[in-house]
């Protein structure tokens, strides 16, 4: 019997708290050499653990490939060495009562291995490039809403986290540059969400013009 295992680390926009945040690493899409279409796969069991030195990092371990819902994942067993690129990683963010918002920023590392008691095949990588992330399902287009001026800016982003990171980091730089010297230390530690709030912006889905 083959033992399927995928382990990795997700970086979030704030310290992870098991009592306030609940996530489930979900479907991963990869492109294999020689195949025209990307394949999707998922696992039936998973565990998570907060990093001891950096609470913004969440380690996950997933096991037992879900062949029932993703029959194409069988190709991973024989083509693991042919992974060409990672197309998408879906992460489920629970929104139960008492749960707080948290945003995955990127995948720090990933290891996939199969052990059939005869040999072990493994793929391991620490990522420099960003794997496109999506969470809570669906693909959306996001924009930046100026709460003070009351209009939607021209920027357009393919995902919530790309809007958060790309526009948010520019906001942080601008806030720190414009802040008085005595406040620089406090503004330098702002999270991306706090930068949006401080500067008076919010992220909205482009088909929804409500002020979020």
154-193 per-position pLDDT tens digit: 888 866 767 888 888 888 888 777 655 554 555 556 777 7
Q: Is the pTM of this model over 0.75?
A: no
| Sequence-separated (6 or more) residues with CB below 8 Å from residue 23 | 10, 48, 58, 91, 92, 93, 94, 102, 104, 135
In the block, tokens 């948010």 appear at 168
Percentage of the chain lying above the pLDDT 90 cut: 10
CB-based contact 161:91 (threshold 8 Å): no
How many Å apart are CA 45 and CA 47, to the nearest integer?
7
How many Å apart are CA 9 and CA 19, to the nearest integer?
19
196 Rama sector, left if φ>0, alpha if ψ -120 to 50, beta otherwise:
alpha
How many Å apart are CA 119 and CA 115, to the nearest integer?
6
Give residue 49's pLDDT: 93
Residue 212 — pLDDT band, cuts 50, 70, 90? very low
- For the chain, report the end-to-end CA distance as a whole number of angstroms: 50
Which of 116-120, 134-138, 194-198 has the highest mean predicted lDDT (pLDDT)?
Answer: 194-198
Strand ranges, E, within 116-168: 120-126, 133-135, 142-146, 151-152
Give residue 23's pLDDT: 83
- What DSSP character marks residue 183? G
Give residue 58's pLDDT: 93
Q: What is the pLDDT of residues 42-97, one digit of tens each?
A: 998 989 999 999 999 999 999 988 988 889 988 888 888 888 888 888 888 776 66
**For residue 179, which phi and psi values (nearest 5 degrees)?**
-75, 150
How many Å apart are CA 45 and CA 150, to the nearest integer?
45
**For residue 85, which phi and psi values (nearest 5 degrees)?**
-160, 160
Mean pLDDT of 19-35: 84
């Amino acid at each position: 019997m083959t033992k399927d295992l995928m382990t990795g680390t997700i970086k979030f926009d704030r310290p992870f708290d098991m009592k306030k945040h609940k996530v489930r690493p979900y479907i991963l899409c990869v492109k294999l050499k020689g195949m025209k279409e990307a394949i999707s796969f998922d696992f039936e069991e998973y565990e998570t653990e907060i990093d001891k030195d950096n609470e913004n990092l969440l380690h996950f371990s997933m096991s037992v490939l879900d062949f029932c819902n993703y029959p194409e994942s069988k190709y991973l067993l024989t083509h693991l060495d042919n992974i060409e690129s990672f197309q998408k990683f879906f992460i489920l963010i629970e929104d139960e009562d008492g749960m707080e918002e948290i945003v995955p920023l990127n995948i720090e590392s990933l290891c996939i291995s199969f052990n059939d008691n005869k040999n072990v095949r493994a793929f391991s990588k620490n990522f420099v490039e960003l794997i496109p992330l999506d969470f809570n399902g669906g693909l959306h287009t996001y924009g930046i809403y100026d709460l003070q001026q009351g209009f939607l800016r021209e920027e357009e982003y393919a995902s919530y986290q790309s809007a958060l990171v790309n526009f948010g980091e520019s906001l942080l730089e601008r806030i720190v540059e414009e802040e008085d010297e005595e406040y620089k230390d406090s503004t330098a530690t702002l999270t991306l969400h706090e930068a949006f709030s401080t500067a008076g912006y919010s992220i909205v889905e482009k088909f929804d013009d409500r002020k979020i």
